[in-house]
């Protein structure tokens, strides 16, 4: 079991720029994270995931890496990282680091050499292609952050491909030397003692060798998308079958070390659950997560279909579920129409997430019931928000600093006069020091303790009950019953027996269980129907 510590574990995601600023420059850093690790351990998490801290020009806040083996000075040094790792391990926390392998920064030495000519040692390390006869790009592939996915390089008389910003050129994984380069970089961090990797955009590694056009999205839409990337069905720019062989090479590497783990991020609007199953079957990555529960859908049918869909397609695979992260609006804001109050919805979401079969990821501030921050255009840093404003406001609203002390400057995040993103009063009002008895944070601690105490909730199989909306009901393992009213209106659930372990707005009577607005109950035993 020690080797599979990740199975059913709860990981706490830290966005380093926004967790804790220790040197007063307005940006979070490694020493700040180290100082606050006790908060994560006290919460009851098993592991910490650090979003990228590697050397970067920060065009995409660290997801554009220019050195895979060093720490960016804004966050600290390798010595600071080693100190964080030691402190985390001392508290019983595993440490997972982000690996952004699909692309690098355009300032990486490899790309700077590759773009100079067609005949240098790294000429084929990135995705290059000749123009069409009319000078236009080789195909219709789009970039996620807006516009076409190809940029011109005059020195080569060719285009290079980038799924994201033009400053984030895609590696050519058909070149085995590129694969070896990344495996060597992963080994560097494994030797340093990290416990695992979060693999960014894991389904983007390989592209179609023939550079065939992506199709139009077959799903009819009432109006054009704000982001044209979502108007295509990405059959060839990602999700290629060659990816599976490379994942097996990655798994072989991590298997050389004791108790290490990989979790892959699957970004796809069509086949995410299917890809999660493929990537976690056999000797590939240990677990995958997708954006399937990071959207607006909040219904019993939706949650049931995702869990059942995964285990039906990959009965030996393993998912990792999340409701929020650094790329989407915070779920308390996203689902507010379904909540009787912010606090009731936040607690119900915690109970539901931490009852699901699979591993779990909690995003910093989620344990406070944090909401999305409303920002002005001039306060934005995210290229997605800047490019698509005001139809889409980007990701800065979920990335604003962690709030520790309501009355302190910048809510205790930093002593600087100005922080990289502002701390607003609406966010400061749920600061850690205001989370007393009965708070959202207090509930997270209770729910995490319950999950650890009951083997059913960590590894038990799931049996769903056929209940009408808005009730979601399932049994975990042999004897843990979970019932949720996913609405701000009271409902009745036919229930007999069982002992309530943890509940909100739940009243057991002779004829069943009354669940109030956003009510839920987790029981030891009991029968539905």
Residue 170 DSSP code: B
Exposed, middle or buried: residue 213 (CB in 10 Å: 0-12, 13-18, 19+)?
middle
- Compute CA distances 305 → 264, 293, 301, whole Å: 21, 11, 6
Catalytic residue (choose from 134, 256, 391, 466): 256
- CB 503: neighbour CB atoms within 10 A? 17
Rounded to 5°, angle at Cα 33 from 29 and 38 = 165
Q: Are 453 and 445 in contact (CB under 8 A)?
A: no
Q: Are 53 and 446 in contact (CB under 8 A)?
A: no
Q: Is 463 a catalytic residue?
A: no
Q: Are 197 and 47 in contact (CB under 8 A)?
A: no
Rounded to 5°, angle at Cα 41 from 35 and 43 = 115
- Both structure tokens of 478: 């042999």
Phi, psi (5° rounding) for residue 233? -105, 105
Q: Is 378 a catalytic residue?
A: no
Catalytic residue (choose from 167, 195, 200, 366): 200
* Cα–Cα distance, 373 to 197 (Å, whole number): 29
Residue 203 DSSP code: G
- Both structure tokens of 100: 């952004």
3-state SS class at 501: strand
**Active-site residues: which are they?**
200, 256
């Amino acid at each position: 079991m020690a080797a599979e510590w990740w199975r059913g574990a709860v990981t706490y995601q830290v966005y380093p720029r926004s967790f804790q600023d220790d040197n007063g420059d307005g940006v979070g850093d490694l020493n700040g994270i180290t100082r606050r690790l006790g908060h994560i351990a006290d919460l009851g998490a098993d592991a910490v995931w650090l979003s990228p801290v590697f050397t970067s020009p920060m065009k995409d806040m660290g997801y554009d890496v220019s050195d895979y083996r060093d720490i960016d000075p804004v966050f600290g040094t390798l010595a600071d990282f080693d100190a964080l790792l030691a402190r985390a391990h001392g508290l019983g926390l595993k440490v997972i680091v982000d690996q952004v392998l699909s692309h690098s920064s355009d300032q990486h030495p490899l790309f700077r050499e590759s773009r100079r000519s067609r005949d240098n040692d790294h000429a084929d390390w990135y995705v290059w292609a000749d123009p069409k006869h009319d000078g236009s790009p080789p195909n219709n592939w789009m970039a996620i952050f807006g516009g076409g996915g190809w940029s011109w390089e005059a020195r080569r008389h060719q285009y290079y491909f980038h799924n994201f910003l033009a400053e984030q050129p895609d590696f050519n994984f058909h070149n085995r030397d590129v694969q070896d380069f990344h495996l060597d970089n992963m080994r560097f961090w494994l030797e340093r003692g990290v416990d695992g990797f979060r693999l960014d955009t894991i389904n983007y590694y390989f592209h179609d060798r023939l550079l065939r056009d992506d199709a139009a999205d077959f799903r009819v839409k009432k109006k054009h998308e704000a982001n044209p990337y979502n108007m295509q069905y990405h059959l060839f720019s990602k999700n290629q079958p060659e990816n599976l062989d490379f994942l097996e090479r990655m798994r072989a590497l991590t298997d050389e070390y004791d108790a290490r783990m990989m979790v892959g991020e699957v970004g796809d609007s069509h086949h995410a659950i299917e890809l999660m199953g493929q990537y976690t079957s056999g000797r590939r990555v240990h677990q995958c997560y997708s954006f399937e529960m990071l959207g607006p859908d909040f219904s019993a049918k939706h949650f049931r279909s995702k869990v059942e869909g995964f285990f039906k397609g990959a009965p030996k695979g393993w998912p990792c579920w999340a409701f929020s992260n650094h790329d989407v609006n915070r779920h308390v804001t996203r689902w507010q129409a379904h909540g009787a109050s912010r606090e009731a919805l936040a607690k119900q979401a915690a109970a539901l997430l931490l009852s699901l079969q699979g591993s779990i990821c909690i995003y910093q501030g989620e344990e406070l019931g944090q909401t999305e921050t409303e920002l002005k255009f001039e306060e934005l840093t995210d290229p997605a928000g800047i490019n698509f404003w005001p139809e889409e406001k980007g990701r800065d609203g979920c990335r604003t600093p962690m709030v520790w002390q309501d009355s302190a400057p910048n809510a205790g995040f930093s002593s600087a006069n100005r922080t990289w993103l502002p701390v607003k009063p609406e966010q400061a009002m749920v600061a850690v020091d205001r989370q007393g008895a009965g708070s959202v944070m207090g509930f997270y601690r209770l729910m995490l303790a319950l999950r650890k105490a009951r083997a059913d909730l960590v590894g038990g199989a799931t049996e769903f009950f056929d209940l009408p909306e808005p009730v979601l009901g399932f049994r975990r393992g042999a004897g843990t019953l979970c019932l949720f009213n996913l609405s701000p209106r009271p409902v009745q659930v036919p229930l007999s027996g069982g002992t309530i372990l943890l509940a909100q707005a739940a009243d057991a009577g002779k004829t069943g269980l009354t669940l109030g607005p956003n009510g839920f109950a987790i029981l030891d035993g009991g029968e539905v129907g």
